Each structure stands twice: as C-alpha cells, then as structure tokens.
Structure 1
C-alpha cells in the first residue's frame, strides 16, 4: 500500500491574476491529489496530499506547465502532517500581513477572448471589456494585494449569476478571474461630446463614424486616455497637432492587425513577435515608402511607431474603421497622460470633438511602452504598460529596502528589497504639478503593493532636481547620492546581471558631475559601488544654459568657437541667426551664463544645427534624432577624432566639427556628412576603450545613456568593440535613457550598503 505524504507549498513569482490557482486546482485533479490552494500577500500557498509518486509528478508540472502569463521564480516544499483531506479546493485569501506577492502587468487580449468578442452572437459579442485569467487589466486596476476583486477597481461591479458561475467553475478559463464581467454586470461604454453630453446611437459605431468624418476622439484605454484621428487624414492630423500643441514629435499609430502593420513598416521576425505578443508596445520600425499615412504623423522621420490593439475596445474600434489610426497620449504638450474622467473632460475638451469612455476607474496611469529591435532583441525606449510592475531580479540582494528617486527627465522611481527591483512605469518629466503628483502617488502605491519601507533613499547629485529634493525631505532614511552617469552604467550592469568592473561609456544629454560641471560624454571605470572618470568628450561652453538645449544653434556656435577659436568659418547658420549670433559667441568665449559641458547629446545638437537639419528643438532630443534620420547607410567614411593620452582621456570633439564644416563647405551631401560624423565618433569610442583596456586590463564595455537610443551609433560602436575582442553589455530590460536611472541608483545604494556592512 502506497504511503500518503502531505506537502506544504509556497510558490513565488508572478502567480496572482494569471490563473495560477485554477491551474493548480486542475493539476491536482489530474494527478488525483487532495488539498487546497490560495492567494496571500506573499504569492500562492498550497497543501497537497497523496502518494509520493503523484506528488513528484505534480511538482514537476507545476513549473513546466504553468500558465502563459505566470513567472514561477521559486517553489518551496516542506513536509506536513497528512490529514486524510478529500478533494481539492481553492480557499479564501487570509488577511494581508507582510506583502511580497507580485502583480502581473496589464496583458493584451488573448485569442479566446478576442474570438468571443468578435463572434456574431453570444453573451460577450461586441463587449469591449471581455477578459479571462489569461488576459486583461491587472496593474492598472490593482489598489492593494492580495490580487482579489475587492482590491481592484472592479470592486464596484457585482458579478451577475452567469459570471459568478464562470468564476466558480474550476473547468472554466474564467475560474477565479478577478476582472470577469459581461454586459449585464460589468463596465459599460459611452460616447459623449466635448461637453460630456451623451451622443445618440451605439457608442462604438458612432465613434468610428466620427473618426471617419475627420473628428478627433478621446479614447479611454487601460492606463489613461488617448487621442485618436485617422492616420491618413492630413487635415485631422494637423488639427490634432495644433490643438495638442505638439508641433513635430511623431504620433504613434494603431494598426488593425499584423497584416496592416506590414503595410506600414518593415518588420523583422522578432519585430512581428513583439508587436503581436502579450506586451503590445509601440514598435519603432522603418517606414515603408507606400505607407498610407499622413506626412504630419511623423515629420522628418524615417520611422513610424506602430502598435496593435491590446484591449477588446481597441479591436472593435479598429474593426469598425478598417484602417490605421493615430493613438497618441491624451494630454497637452508635456503634461502627463490623463486618466480620470473628470480631468479628461476638463483638460481634453479643447482638443477632442468627442469622448469614447467607460466607467471602470483607472488606479494607475500607465503610458504605452515603446521599443526598438536591436540584434534580434527588444531595446526598451519607454518601459510602462505591459512590462510594469514585473520586477528586475538582481544578482545580489538588497541588504536594506531601497527607494531610488530617479532623474528629472523621463523619470521612473524604483523600490527594491530582497533580490527584486520594482522599476516604476514611465512618470515623465518632473516639470509640473501633475507629473510631480503622479511621482509621489506612484511611490506611495508601490510601497503599499510591495510592502517596502525604505531604509535607504538614492538620488541624483543635481541639487535642483525635484526628485532629489523629494528624497532629501524624507525622514528616517539614509540618503545616498549617486552620480548620474555612474547610475547609467550601474543600470546597464544590473540589466545584464553583472557587477563589474567594466569600462562604461555613458553618452547622454546632461548630468551633474562630481566637479560641478555638466557631464554627458563619459568613459568610466565602474562597478556597482564606485567609479572613476577615465575619459570624456572635450568640454565646451553651453551659452545661455538651458536655452542651449532648446536652441541647438547655440551649441553649434560654442562647438565652432572651440574648434576654430576666433577664426570662425562663414556659415549660413551664422547668417540665419545674425541678430543674436555674436552675442551668443561672446557668452561662450567669456564663459558668462555658459556652463561647461562634455555632453555627447549637445555635440549631436551642434552638428545637426551646423548642417541645417534642426536649429531649434521643439521636443527633447529632436536635433539628434533628426540627424540620425539623415545618415546615408552606405557611407563608410569617417572623420578622424583625436583621443589624447591624458588621464582622463580627452576625445577631441573639435576634430569632428572641423570635418563636418570642411565637407559642408565643399558641398558634400548632408546624408554623407551625417554618416561620417557617426562613424568618426564610433571609431573614437572604440579607440578610447582599447586604450583603457591597456591601462586596466578590463575587457568588458557597458553602453548606456540616451544617446545610445541612436541605433546607427549603437550598431557601429558594438560592431567596432566586438571586432576588437570586447564583451559588450547593452540594455534590454530597462531603457538606456533616464528611464533606467532609478534602477542604477538602487543597485549602487545597495552595493555601498554591502560594502559598509563588510567593513
């Protein structure tokens, strides 16, 4: 007779809100074992009883056959006293204690729910909120853990009898699906005018008619409101730009399906998988010449940002339209995306001609994520909906809980404990009250969800960053200041599960240096705890300070002065800005209101302006982005760039500027000049890394900073370094831009904490 064994299980990872308890229940019935399973604040707990062979099979399949959305990090099993329990049941969640359960990101509609929604008949035919345990809203609706309905914004919707039967049926895919609903009991759609008065007719059909008629529509999605117009309607797109005060920055598009996406952009196989996967980000990909898209959707860009529908509402709207449509963040200029209904009417009524909205509240505003594809892998540009709040697991644990407050631009924050770092959704630029409120509310929400009471708070060195001021106002914590570019390199190390030391190349716009100048073109010898500045781009003045970021022609004046001294070349650029040119040159020469910077981003700005590509920027990074767009892909020439033998090394930016000017005066096409500039800078980075390898013996290079969103530069630098035998680390799980800074700050704080403990 077989011996009966009972085991007590603890399953950790993303195991709530993904159908894990129903899966465990079904698996127990398949193996004929008894016991129970439930959610609690740590994840999923279970007890199983039966003969040992059956229990071993159950445990093997528990990880091997877990639901698609589940991430099983660890299963712990310990013996328990057999109870002769019969059957297997799902038990209620106990009151929350210490919380360590993980919340699933919002997930795109699964094939089964989509088929049900698009079916000509059935209980959920045409229903915009169909979901199950394998798909639907998660992070954007969760107010607390454990992930049960009463802790979500679905709490106000009482299940009807039919939904309650599905919820209680262990053989149904909606078994214990917390957002389960239908037209009888769930959220409902409505269409209103800009005054909030309901429109006549069926909301979706009428909304599509309004879009086809050239109107602008505000659409409430998972994490906030979007603004929509037809992608090929030039007049409507221009009207959206005018009303939204977004002059040049590209708009994202939603394609009805993958076949339509293939008509808009050139897709690699991995790009198709990214587009059609569960995350459903915006994918930046090369635009096809025959794409039926208005010129003003992405002016001056060779790329389009395309995504596929990720909710039943989007699928239904796309079906009604039968063509791509713009779906851009519902905000004005640089404000955060609107997520509350009353706020939407207040802020968007001057932009939108109508509102397609619903009555399910959004708990957390969450922008769409943005990715590129590089060498067959995702390269995150903005990490938000679909990815957050899945943690970044770190190679070494955090000795004490950490809050990292991030940077000023593209802000994210991070809370961390154990081996998990929870990098927040995209917050945005901390420039106005709404964004700052989103930042502070988000930190409070993450602390509550993941039960993190920070003992360390990490922040940037810049004393005027609002994130720094917030950190320094906290009490009962130890503050850790982390230099901006060290945080970039540490973020790349953590992203790759490495600890260093490495040669770090951090190229970005600006960051406060340890010498009180503005860094941005840095070569560091760095590990997680510390760094040394081993090289940098030649510093130049930034005439007008912050004005030079918005007016790249000012950086052109400064770089020309640094390259030529008083013998400045006569360029059309100087003539176009003649009323202020000599004043700006004088500022740079005297160093008055002209802080020194080694910024790679400002070098790109200068070259863009010299070439007449972009002299005044209307959004962050525009000059550099448009310069990359002009690169001739078949140009292999490169301007020479001196790398001095000093310590730290100096990369002579003036060499590149003189090469650019010489070719411009010789009437070389701009696309050739842009390519030679990129190639020259790339080769200089490789040369500098080779010199530093000789000095340090280090053979690994980590690349970080927003400038490495430039795929032309990234590709050339990686190819060059690998050709020299280096191991190269690039980002994949968090962005290389300032959206990854908070992760870097967190792991630096932890590394210093460990060092302090060991002393």
Structure 2
C-alpha cells in the first residue's frame, strides 16, 4: 500500500452542470486510478489513488483536457492518506453546505449532437423541443439553488422514463447527469392556445399550427428559454406594423431570428467576428450592417444601417424556423423575436402571467410546462471592427451569471445600479457577479423583477451584503430600495456619483489599479454639484478612491426638463440661445413648422431659468445636433437622435469642427463651438452628411486633446472610456484610435456594456475597496 499515492483535488468555477463529473470519470479510467468525485458546496471534490505517475497524469488531464463548457477558477491539490481495498472509481451523490465556490453556467445554445437527434426521424427525440445534454441547454434560467442537481431545478417535477434515466446514470453517456434531460415520453410539452387560454393543439402539431398562423400574418407570444417573445413574420409589412402598434413601439429597431448562418448572410453583411458570435454557444442578438435590398420588411429597423440578427438557440426555435420556412415559402425564413412585454415592463415569465400581460398583443400563445425560474432577456452585441471584440449593449442570456474577475479580494458588497438599463452586482471574494439586464426601473413590475433577482443571487451565491452602494440621485427607485434594504439588514449605505461609477467599472473589468483619466460620456447622471452631468473628464484613483472632476462639456439648458429629452428641438434651440442666436438664418430651423408656438416661449423660459436645468451631457449634445440638422425633432426611444446623426455621416469627409479646451475655472471643453460651426455650415448650404461627420470628428479631436492635456499635466497615460455614448460605433472605434495616436492607452469595456448596465459593477467594486481601505 505504501506504493500508492492519493490526492484530493478541489476544483472551483463553472464545473457543475457542464459534464465535469463524467469527464473526471473518463480521465480516471484512462489513467487507471481509483477514487471518487462529487459536487459539493466547495466545488467539485475529487480523490484519486494510484501510482505517483498515474496520479500525476490524471492531474495533467484534469487541467489540460477540460469539457467545452467548463471554466476552472481555482484548483487546490493536496496529498491524503490512501484508502485500503479501493478497486474502482465512483461518482458520489452531491452534497450541500453553508458556503460554496461554484459558478452556475449560463444558458447554452443547442449543440450539434442534439441537433442531429432532433433532425433524425428515427431518433426518439425527433422534433422534440426540449432536447439537451451536458454540453447544451438551459442552466441559469431553470436553477433554483445550489448544488446544480435536478431536484434544485424546474425539471424536478418531471421523473425520467427508463431510457432517459439510463442515459442520466451512465458516466459514458453525454447525458450523464444532464439535469434538464427529457424526451417526449417523460418531459415537458408545448401546446398552442388562444388569448383566452383555450388549447388549440398540442405537441408537434402545436408548432406546425403556430407556423401556419405566423405565415398568415398573425402575432404570437412564444414561451422560450428566459421568458416570452412576441413573434411575427419579418417579411410582412402588415404584421410588423401591427406588432409595433400593439407594443407601442413606433420606431425602435426589432430583433430578427433566422434559420441559419446562410440566411443571416442574406440579411446582413457579416464580418468573421460577427459570424462567430451568431454561431457560438451564447447566441446573442448581433447588430450587423444591413444588406440592401433586404428580404425582410423595411419597418424592422427604420432609419438605421444596422439589423439585429440572431440564430436559433433552443430546439424549439430550430423546429419553429424549419416549420415556418415550409409554411411561408420564404427563401430566407425570418421571424421577429422581440421581448414579450409592453415597453418598460420586464419580459413575461409564466403561462398565466403571459396570458394576462400579453392579452391584446398576441393572437395565439405557444406555451409549455417547463417553468422558467429566472427571467432573462436576449443579449445584444455589436462587434468593434478594429479589435474584433464585442461591444455589449445588453448583457443577459448566455452571459449571466458569469462573474467579472477582480484584482483584489474583499467583503460582499451590493451595488444597486442606476434607474435606466439597470443591473445589480454582488461581490464575493475576488469575483463580482453582475445580474442580467433588468431594464428601466419605471414601474412596480420592474421593481418586483429586481427583487426576484436580488433574492435569487444571494441564494445561489450564499452571500449577504455587508455594505450597499447606491447612486447619488435620491429619487431613483434603486436608491429607495438601497435605503430600505440597508435599514432592514442594519448595514451601511454609501453613495457614489454616477460617472465615477462608470469609470470604476472599466477599471474593474481591466483589473487596473493605477490612477486614470476617465471620459464618461452619456445622457444623464446627477452630479456632485447638483447639476446634470454627462460629458465628464475625471481623475479616478482606484487605490486611494479619490476622484476629481477635471473638466466637462460646455453646459446647455434643458427647457422643459424631461420634455427636452423627448423633444431634441428644445435642446437645439437652447444651444443656439447660449450662442446668442435667436432667429433662423439662411438655414430654415426644422422645428419651426411643427413647434413654432412652443418655440416662441423658449427664450423667455431660458432667460428666466424656468424649468430649464443645466447639463454637461454628451448625449444631449448629440440630440441638439440631430435636431439642428433636421434629422430628429422628437424621439420615441433613448438614443434615437444619436443613431440618426451617426447614420447621416458622409464618411468621405475629413474635416473636423473646432472643439477647444477652455482654461477657465472650472475647465470645460467648449462643445458649443461644434454647434456654432455646424450652424454656419448649414447656413452656407453644406450637406447634412458633411456636417454630421465634421461634428463626430471634431468631438473626437476635442476629447483627445483634452485627455492629452491632462495626461501631460498629471503624468497619467491611461484613459478609461465609458458611458452610453460609447455604444456609438464611430466613437467606439475612432476615439481609441485617436488616443493611441496621441500616445495614450485607452481602457474599454470587455465584459459589460458601456451604458448604465455597468454602473452596479462600479458601485460594488468601489464599495469593496472602500471597506478594505477603511479596515
């Protein structure tokens, strides 16, 4: 026995529900070692016994031949006493505990092996919409608690048939301990219902009948992986227009799901990185350049050059698209797949909830009886053509609940997030766990969703926060929630300014620990001086946690307050008023025809300061320019004016408007000169395309010169970029380029959106470091 060696390995990370234990069983057999493996609250615990060479070979395979979905965060190994008489390798039952170091896998797209099963008429899972294995399928959305075993998922109520149980119990089968494993004999089923909930068809016939209904121009509510989609024929102008009317979404682009990569190529001009995202295991919506002429309705994404495309990520989607292709006869089958909700509400989750909330929106409902425990929207990604890296616009399905790995370990802190594009973040040791996209905290439904996610994340992470960090704004729903929760838990609550949180989020993602110049460019955030910030140059030190507002955009007024955000013509007129321009010159002001009477009152409001708060917002500057150019006087969704201004650019233009740095106290970037130069060009008859391009180039040059000036002054050469304006592809690509040309080093987001979806991460990491600093 003395010749035997026994080692215990404890593996943490994404190692449950990803085929890790059968992988361990296989490499144990291959290396002729005995022992055990089990899921525990610590992670996966493995003990192997054999000769020293056999144990060493097993350890090599354990780290170098991982299954495709596994992600190891830590691997601890230690020698233990050999076990006498052990003659095999055993997979033990999972154990639970008070704390754990396990990462729940995100939901994963259907794998090729399961696709082969679905497509094979001789397979018992032919056209079965809940087919999966250890390499694919639902994870996060069906997980109730840890450890990730069937009783802890929404599959607990589906006892497996003998054939499925045999697969589940066989360590050499790819469905070994695949917790959502099922087949038509024992698993969930789908059915088609009318708006009253009356069943119209069941099983495969329900999907066929749904496809026929969609081909006839009807709108369906389809229960998917993380909630419901509203679905219609993407080629039908009538169906798309009706969906927009019912959903109260007149202009905002809608997402499309198409059958395969070849079909996607007929819809969009795809670069290789976009194709990789479309076909990968995460399957987000990918914003890609439209092809013209297009086989789908022009009403899907009006006034933008981009189309949001995704490929099927569940068996149900694959089967529906295949069936719809036959029913519609379309060469390029494509369906609108937009969130099943009214604007500003969270996505609908359960059958009864959908029948109630989506009544009047859908003509038919495709329902199923596998409960969705965690509602999760589709993620949205665009590719940076310079780096081939992602710019996340919405982080949800396929990404959540993956952590951000931090530079330091610390106590558990909750960042409660902002008001718009809200997420929350919990830290645990050296990991930060941003939630999936929750949305705009505009109603009680969103608040209930927020609380669902907060409770669930605390449960699966087995943590309770010791500190809460919230936004400065006292009226945000997240601020009220933070104050209430802090009182209930009797823990401290700290406040962090919105744009400082943006920069801390970038630093956390990059694990960067030195002082930086931060450019935070967005629409709105309450500043430390009580005004509305949004075009900010900051000095941020992640070690001392000190920060300083170095400079900001020239302030303009928002006549009418929130009304100005919805009506950019007001901001354009206010910007001209700041320049002393009160009457139209040669260039006819585009808002005078529709808003002449209201426009006449604005100078009086501005002069007296009546309901006209000042802002340094970069987003509002884009709004003003879009209105000045006659592109957008009113908006129906956030960012609409900026999207139109970006699209309008004449990319052959190389000139840039002046945007100088004013050295007054406080220092400001004189962005009003961009407005003045644009007005001059428009009065001279310069095309809107040239004006839009000169504006973008002038802003990029001004930002670069400002960053360089402070870099020289402060001997700080890294520049962190964040804020919703960094979703603008022109700024996202050309501003880092310009900074690099000036000898500066840009830091950008890689794992979270640059918009307010990153705020909670910045809050939580700042709070964790504050606790470490204060001891």
Structure 1, unaligned runs of 5 or more:
none
2:351 maps to 341
- Deviation (angstroms), 1:572: 3.4
Distance 1:748 1:229 in 2: 44
Per the alignment, in what secondary structure is the counterpart of residue 420 of structure 2? coil
Per the alignment, in what secondary structure is the counterpart of residue 110 of structure 2? coil
Distance 1:513 1:582 in 2: 31
Aligned equivalent of 2:273, options 267, 270, 275: 270
Distance 1:389 1:43 in 2: 16
2:636 maps to 618
CA contact (8 A) 2:590 2:627 kept: no
Distance 1:305 1:12 in 2: 36
2:478 maps to 467
Distance 2:125 2:720 in 1: 50
Per the alignment, in what secondary structure is the counterpart of residue 518 of structure 2? strand
Distance 1:614 1:631 in 2: 15
CA contact (8 A) 2:589 2:630 kept: no
Distance 1:165 1:318 in 2: 31
Structural mapping, 1:582-731, within 5 Å: 582-731=600-749
Distance 2:733 2:172 in 1: 50
CA contact (8 A) 2:681 2:691 kept: yes
Per the alignment, in what secondary structure is the counterpart of residue 296 of structure 1? coil
- Deviation (angstroms), 1:671: 1.5
Aligned equivalent of 1:387, options 383, 399, 411: 399
Query: TM-score when scaled to structure 2?
Result: 0.96
- Deviation (angstroms), 1:125: 0.5
- Is 1:223 the equivalent of 2:226? yes
CA contact (8 A) 2:98 2:462 kept: no
> Which shifted more, 556-565 or 567-576?
567-576
- Deviation (angstroms), 1:677: 0.6
Structural mapping, 1:297-308, within 5 Å: 297-308=300-311
Aligned equivalent of 2:565, options 537, 545, 549: 549
- Is 1:576 the equivalent of 2:577? no
2:506 maps to 492
Aligned equivalent of 1:296, options 279, 296, 299: 299
> Which shifted more, 737-746 or 570-579?
570-579
Aligned equivalent of 2:442, options 422, 425, 431: 431
Cα distance, 1:648–1:697 mapped onto 2, change above 3 Å: farther
Deviations 1:316-361 (A, max 9, x none): 1111122011100001122111011101001112011111121000
Distance 2:667 2:769 in 1: 27
Distance 1:591 1:100 in 2: 55
CA contact (8 A) 1:535 1:647 kept: no
- Is 1:313 the equivalent of 2:316? yes
- Deviation (angstroms), 1:97: 2.0
Distance 1:500 1:605 in 2: 34
Cα distance, 1:677–1:82 mapped onto 2, change above 3 Å: same
Per the alignment, in what secondary structure is the counterpart of residue 747 of structure 1? helix
Deviations 1:389-444 (A, max 9, x none): 0111101112x211110000000000111011000000000000110100011101
Distance 1:384 1:500 in 2: 30
Distance 2:258 2:319 in 1: 12
- Deviation (angstroms), 1:212: 0.8
Cα distance, 1:732–1:395 mapped onto 2, change above 3 Å: same
- Deviation (angstroms), 1:527: 2.2
- Deviation (angstroms), 1:576: 3.1
Distance 1:450 1:520 in 2: 34
CA contact (8 A) 1:617 1:623 kept: yes
Per the alignment, in what secondary structure is the counterpart of residue 356 of structure 1? strand
- Deviation (angstroms), 1:660: 1.3
Structure 2, unaligned runs of 5 or more:
326-332
Deviations 1:184-224 (A, max 9, x none): 11110111111111114701111111111111111111000
Deviations 1:679-721 (A, max 9, x none): 1101000110111012101111110000010011222211111
CA contact (8 A) 1:105 1:385 kept: yes
Per the alignment, in what secondary structure is the counterpart of residue 577 of structure 1? helix
- Deviation (angstroms), 1:568: 6.3
1:404 maps to 415
Per the alignment, in what secondary structure is the counterpart of residue 579 of structure 2? helix
- Deviation (angstroms), 1:51: 0.8
2:5 maps to 5
Distance 2:313 2:334 in 1: 14
Distance 1:470 1:484 in 2: 17
> Which shifted more, 384-393 or 332-341?
332-341
Per the alignment, in what secondary structure is the counterpart of residue 662 of structure 2? coil
Distance 1:123 1:572 in 2: 64
2:79 maps to 79
Per the alignment, in what secondary structure is the counterpart of residue 630 of structure 2? coil
Distance 1:45 1:614 in 2: 60
Number of residue pairs aligned between Structure 1 and Structure 2: 756
2:390 maps to 378
Deviations 1:45-68 (A, max 9, x none): 111111111111111111211111
CA RMSD of superposed structures (Å): 1.3
Per the alignment, in what secondary structure is the counterpart of residue 365 of structure 2? strand
Distance 1:572 1:282 in 2: 35
Structural mapping, 1:75-474, within 5 Å: 75-84=75-84, 85-200=86-201, 202-322=205-325, 323-374=333-384, 375-398=387-410, 400-474=411-485
Structural mapping, 1:54-65, within 5 Å: 54-65=54-65
User: Which of structure 1's runs of 4+ aligned residues deviate more than 3 A?
Assistant: 565-570
Distance 1:390 1:204 in 2: 33
CA contact (8 A) 1:393 1:419 kept: yes
- Deviation (angstroms), 1:567: 6.2
Query: TM-score when scaled to structure 1?
Result: 0.98
Distance 1:716 1:79 in 2: 54
